[in-house]
Amino acid sequence: MKKSQSRRDFINTGCMMCAGCAALFSSSRLYANDEKNQEIDLDSYTYCAYQCPDDCPLFIATQKNDVELKKECYKNWKWKEKFGMDFDPELVFCWKCKNEEKPKSMLVEKCPVRLCALEKGYKTCIQCKTLKDCDQKLWSDFPKHKEAVLALQEKYKANAEKK
């Protein structure tokens, strides 16, 4: 007998998967531009070398201004614990971290990887010579993502050397 799932459970599961597993699934996204030995498009990656999916629950909630979905993302992604802020639908949003035409959310504004890349003038952290020794919390939280990013960095370097 198939168990039906409520919309709330479906959204909750989706948000949790996106937040908790984004880095684990990123390896396939990391190599999307490089599979055919094409040049790596740095603009297609976030500052932490992830390619945000268009079906991200927070991105969708932002586009639709869906307060309930924003609230689910707020809870599941633990914004209260991370930023000490109460839920405010005007502050819980994401237009992706490189969208210069839209405002930056607290999530993006306080991202230490983004701030570091901007400070160093990089489009993404794969350009950083000290990435291997970087101790940003993101890497300890998602070690498989860091491994995938380091592998992408090697391919990026190899492509740069061919030029």
Are 125 and 48 in contact by the 8 Å Cβ rule? The answer is: yes
Tell me which residue range forms the domain holding 100. Answer: 7-23+38-125
Are 33 and 40 in contact by the 8 Å Cβ rule? The answer is: yes
In a domain, 162, yes or no: no
In a domain, 111, yes or no: yes
Per-residue pLDDT reduced to its tens digit, 4-16: 545 544 344 343 3
Residue 53 DSSP SS3? coil
DSSP sequence for 79-98? HHHHH-----TTTS--S-TT
Q: At what angle do helices 57-64 and 7-30 cross, to 10 degrees?
A: 120
Per-residue pLDDT reduced to its tens digit, 71-129: 999 999 898 998 888 999 999 999 999 999 999 988 888 899 999 999 999 999 999 99
**Model's pTM, two decimal places?**
0.71
Number of domains the chain contains? 1
In a domain, 153, yes or no: no
CA 40, 43, 46, 48 torsion: positive or negative? positive
